[in-house]
Structure 1
Amino acid sequence: MNTPIIRPLEKKDNPHIASVIRAVLIDLGVPKVGTAYADAALDCMFETYQKERAMYFVVLENDRIIGGSGIAQLDNYDGNVCELQKMYFLPEARGKGIGTAMINRCLEFAATHNFDQCYLETMPYMKAAQKLYERSGFRHIDGPMGDTGHYSCPVHMLKDLK
């Protein structure tokens, strides 16, 4: 088995990461409306992240995409805040430290692009993910920031980057 590799998303990865994200969301029982499942961007992730101060990373194991996560300016928010976006891993990627490595890679990108804070949204029953976020310095906040369109994700977290 090869060591997992984290690298920037490439155009050829679009169908693979879309499939991974949808499979994880279905596996976790996430609503298909008001969550990442309904995002039009899922089928064109490479193109979606071709903007300033944005990047999506994938993790590969044995040349197969097993997860990913992105960083971009928080939508519909007037402030220097980025969002940790679409961080999902197939079951075989979990419990191996890949999530921590991915968050670190995303937060390094955010810091080098001078964001002040990083925001995220998740589901209440995604306890393992919340523990990972907390270990990475995220804290729970009382309500949403910006407007991501993910109104079915009621858990909001924030991390200071400076």
Structure 2
Amino acid sequence: MRKDTIVIREIEAKDNPKIAKAIRSVLIEMGVPKVGTAYEDVALDCMTETYSPSQKAYFVVENGNDIIGGAGISPLDNYEGSVCELQKMYFMPEARGKGLGSEMMKKCLDFAKQAGFTQCYLETLPYMEDARKLYRKVGFKSLEKPMGNTGHYSCTVWMLKDL
């Protein structure tokens, strides 16, 4: 796979089953619990609809007809203030190690700024070290406790970045 054939773009309705399959596949590969994580989110099967209201966006990584990753921005659930959440950022093995994570972060954080958010929050798991390295590289700092209430109680690493 050549990087120049890969496109990061906004999600379309036709992508819904492909991104749901990709995310669940990565979660299974990583040994993520199926309860208390994105795995059980009903939104996985209707991502276009979930991210269509204003102040929300989901971007996919497309390689030909395949969706090999994605990430989204949404207002942080159950939280007052101008904080968004980086959500459902997952990449299939063939998308890793090509700089796509950094490109996706830029796309998502640029959208968040344009949407008027002042901070971006995320939740992850302690053993997802490569993801945490990327988050730290772009300026996310660790928090002692979660913000809002995302329902992802199995995710025990919380991070925040000023935009």
Asked if these proteins are the same fold (TM beyond 0.5), I'd say yes
Aligned to 1:36: 38
Cα deviation per residue 1:104-136 (whole Å; 9 max; x = unaligned)?
Answer: 000000011110100000000000000000001
Q: In the TM superposition, what are the counterparts of 1:132-143 in structure 2 within 5 Å?
A: 132-143=134-145
Aligned to 2:162: 160
SS in 1 for 2:152: coil
Q: Which of 145, 148, 159 is 1:146 aligned to?
A: 148
SS in 2 for 1:6: strand
Q: Which of 123, 127, 130 is 1:128 aligned to?
A: 130
Query: 1:148 Cα shift?
Result: 0.3
Computed over aligned residues only, the root mean square deviation of the Cα atoms, in angstroms, reads 0.7
Q: Distance in 2 between matches of 1:119 and 1:132?
A: 14
Cα deviation per residue 1:75-130 (whole Å; 9 max; x = unaligned)?
Answer: 00011100000000000000100000000000000011110100000000000000
Aligned to 1:19: 21
TM-score, normalised to structure 2, is 0.97
Structure 1 residue runs of 4 or more that deviate by more than 3 Å after TM superposition: none
Q: Which of 8, 30, 44 is 2:10 aligned to?
A: 8
Structure 1 unmatched runs, 5+: none
SS in 2 for 1:96: coil
Q: Distance in 2 between matches of 1:4 and 1:155?
A: 30
Aligned to 1:55: 57
Query: 1:51 Cα shift?
Result: 0.9
SS in 2 for 1:86: strand
Query: 1:52 Cα shift?
Result: 1.4
Identity of aligned residues (%): 63
- Between the two proteins, the alignment pairs up a number of residues equal to 161
TM-score, normalised to structure 1, is 0.98
Structure 2 unmatched runs, 5+: none
SS in 2 for 1:25: helix
Aligned to 1:96: 98
Aligned to 1:81: 83
Aligned to 1:69: 71
